């Protein structure tokens, strides 16, 4: 027997309130991405963020969600993610069966920003569920309930991925890509990245600049063993360890070098780069 859940709407709203960002996430703009993002939000357009790992895509979404005062529902996409994981499913307890909205449905009903992180990791038969939300219809069909949900005026859909890691089996179909406005994000310039690392890691500008110089050299390498250089996130991790008293070279070894590669020759080259930077 299916029973109504009288408190479901209240519970959903309470859970969304828990996803509100209480304090301002610090963000250093690299260009006009904030203005473009907010313009898309005002026009109720979905946004696609493209950029390398650790360049600030998630922080940008968090910052905009805080500025707009909206809950942020973040979904980490993976190959086992199903449409039911997004939309919802029937559950069973001692009183019978009841419907439980998924995170996407909660965001659609109550006007949150729904952020699908690394969307290319999800199966294509799962991502098609977002199509009716990304055009003029702005609706979510819930087939299992025979329900068509009109999106709340404040609902916004955001997806992100790293184009460097795309291949034939993991790519967005043109029919999906063309439903979004897209923002290309990249590493900040050296001065901006230095400010980010100093602020987020809690170290002085001089050591932050040295970390940035190391990272920028790794990004210029073109090697199978190192397909992508050190990210801003990695630099913040290293800076955080340094701020807590760890030696610069040791912090770089465990926060940058070892996570970047398992190739012995590449690792030795990166360690030599760190040694020359922090004499």
Please check whether residues 112 and 226 belong to one and the same domain: no
- Which of 171, 197, 199 has the alpha carbon at shortest distance from 251? 197
Is there a single domain that holds both residue 157 and residue 249? Answer: no
Count other C-beta atoms under 10 Å from residue 214's C-beta. 24
Q: How confident is the model at residue 101 (pLDDT cuts 50, 70, 90)?
A: very high
Q: Which of these three, 184, 215, 233, is where a domain ends?
A: 184
Q: Is the pLDDT of residue 9 over 80?
A: no
Residues 69 and 145 in one domain: yes
What is the domain extent for residue 164?
Answer: 8-184
Residue 43 lies in a domain: yes
Q: How many domains does the chain have?
A: 2
C-alpha distance from residue 175 to each of 39, 48, 102, 117, 266 (Å): 23, 14, 24, 19, 39
42 occurs within a structural domain: yes
Domain boundary among 157, 184, 211: 184
The string of DSSP letters for 46-115 reads -EEEE--TTSSHHHHHHHHHHHHT--EEEEE--TT--HHHHHEEEEEETTEEEEEE-HHHHHHHHTPEEE
**Is the residue at 99 inside a domain?**
yes
- What's the confidence (pLDDT) of residue 93? 85
Residue 125 lies in a domain: yes
Distance of CA 200 to the CA centre of its chain: 18
Residues 217 and 131 in one domain: no
pLDDT in tens, 145-201: 999 999 999 999 999 999 876 554 567 888 899 999 999 999 999 999 999 999 999
Indicate if 71 and 136 belong to the same structural domain: yes
Would you call 149 helix, strand, or coil by DSSP? strand
Is residue 2 domain-resident? Answer: no
Claim to verify: residue 52 and residue 136 sit in the same structural domain: yes
Say if 176 falls within a structural domain. yes
For residue 3, is it within any domain? no
């Amino acid at each position: 027997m299916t029973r109504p859940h009288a408190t479901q709407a209240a519970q959903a709203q309470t859970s969304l309130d828990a996803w509100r960002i209480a304090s301002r996430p610090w963000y250093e703009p690299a260009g006009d991405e904030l203005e473009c993002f907010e313009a898309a939000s005002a026009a109720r357009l979905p946004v696609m963020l493209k950029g390398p790992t650790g360049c600030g895509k998630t922080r940008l979404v968090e910052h905009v969600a805080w500025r707009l005062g909206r809950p942020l529902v973040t979904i980490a996409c993976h190959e086992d993610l199903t449409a039911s994981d997004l939309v919802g499913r029937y559950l069973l307890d001692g009183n019978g069966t009841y419907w439980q909205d998924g995170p996407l449905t909660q965001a659609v009903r109550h006007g949150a920003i729904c952020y699908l992180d690394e969307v290319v990791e999800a199966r294509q038969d799962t991502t098609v569920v977002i199509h009716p939300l990304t055009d003029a219809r702005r609706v979510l069909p819930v087939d299992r309930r025979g329900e068509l949900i009109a999106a709340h005026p404040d609902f916004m859909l955001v997806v992100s991925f790293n184009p460097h890691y795309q291949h034939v089996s993991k790519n967005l179909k043109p029919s999906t890509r063309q439903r979004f406005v897209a923002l290309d994000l990249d590493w900040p310039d050296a001065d901006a990245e230095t400010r980010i690392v100093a602020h987020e890691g809690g170290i002085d500008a001089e050591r932050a600049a040295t970390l940035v110089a190391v990272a920028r050299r790794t990004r210029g390498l073109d090697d199978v063993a190192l397909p992508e250089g050190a990210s801003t996130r990695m630099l913040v991790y290293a800076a955080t360890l340094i701020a807590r008293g760890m030696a610069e070279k040791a912090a770089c070894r465990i926060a940058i070098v070892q996570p970047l590669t398992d190739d012995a020759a590449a690792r030795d080259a990166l360690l030599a780069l760190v040694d020359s930077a922090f004499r």
